[in-house]
Amino acid sequence: MQEDNYRHKGMRQNLVQVLKDKGISDVNVLDAIGAVPRHVFLESSFVEFAYQDRPFPIGSGQTISQPFTVAMQSQLLSVSKGMKVLEIGTGSGYQACVLAQMGAKVFTIERQRNLYNKTKPLLDELSYHIKTFLGDGFKGLPTFSPFDRVIITAAAPEIPQSLVDQLKTDGIMIIPLNDEADAMKQRMLRLTKRPDGTLQREEFGECKFVPMLRSVGND
């Protein structure tokens, strides 16, 4: 793994300031972004890009989310220590580490075999005790349910009912849901599960994610 030196730590503090200026106010989120070494999720030659507020390609046609998006989704998720969180779309593993740094018990699913094979060893090496799974996020992880929180980090065509079923009452799901009018865009939704199983729905603007695809594969 790449080292994490004072230069990296300095760049991270600058990124934290950028996120504060853009409106991220949850101190736990800002502290986690300040602690997790984002550069280890990129090839070493791209270290200059690691602490800019931009998404970046990570191979296999996928991207590591923009730090602002990670911060916003984490803030909307309202995570506190000890909560069980299910993430759909492990990708680079960065979002999972931010949540683990915040004290969540993270379960994360990736459908792309190449990415899973690359990210799992890195997450194991980072010692956050994140549980990584190769599988179809539409199905969730019934064996490990219920979850306090569910975070989807790919563009969902619909609200997956199996994930709603695996959410606790009063649990929160953050989901970038495809816009019916424009398939290239999504709306960031926060869904809160009521005792009768229905969902309270709040919208937090437009966003752009890679598509959530069905079944395990390498495409």
Residue 110 touches ligand SAH, criterion: CB under 6 A: yes
Which of 111, 120, 149, 193 binds ligand SAH (CB under 6 A)? It is 111
CA angle 38, 156, 141 (to 5 degrees): 75
By CB under 6 A, residue 122 contacts ligand SAH: no
CB of 95 to ligand SAH, least distance (A): 3
Which residues, other chains included, contact 151 with Cβ-Cβ below 8 Å and sequence gap of 6+? Answer: 73, 74, 77, 85, 86, 87, 88, 95, 99, 173, 174
Sign of the dihedral defined by the CA atoms of residues 54, 24, 153, 91, in that order: positive
| DSSP per-residue string spanning 81-94 | TT-EEEEE--TTSH
Rounded Cα–Cα distance for residues 59 and 61 (Å): 5
Q: Of 172 and 209, which has the nearer Cβ to ligand SAH?
A: 209
Tokens standing for 190?
A: 């926060």
Give residues 42-101 in contact with ligand SAH (rule: CB under 6 A). 62-65, 88-89, 91-92, 94-95
Q: How far is the CB of 89 from ligand SAH (least distance, A)?
A: 3
- The window from 8-16, 27-35, 110-118, 120-128 that contacts ligand SAH (CB under 6 A) reads 110-118
The number of residues that bind ligand SAH (CB under 6 A) is 24
| 133: contact with ligand SAH by CB under 6 A | no
Query: CA dist 85 to 19, 130, 182, 219, Å?
Result: 23, 10, 30, 27
* Footprint on residues 7-46 left by ligand SAH (CB under 6 A): none
Structure tokens that stand for 120 in this block = 């799992």
Catalytic sites, residue numbers:
65
Among 153, 166, 178, 186, binds ligand SAH (CB under 6 A): 153
Per CB under 6 A, residues contacting ligand SAH are 62-65, 88-89, 91-92, 94-95, 109-112, 115, 136-138, 153-154, 210, 212-214
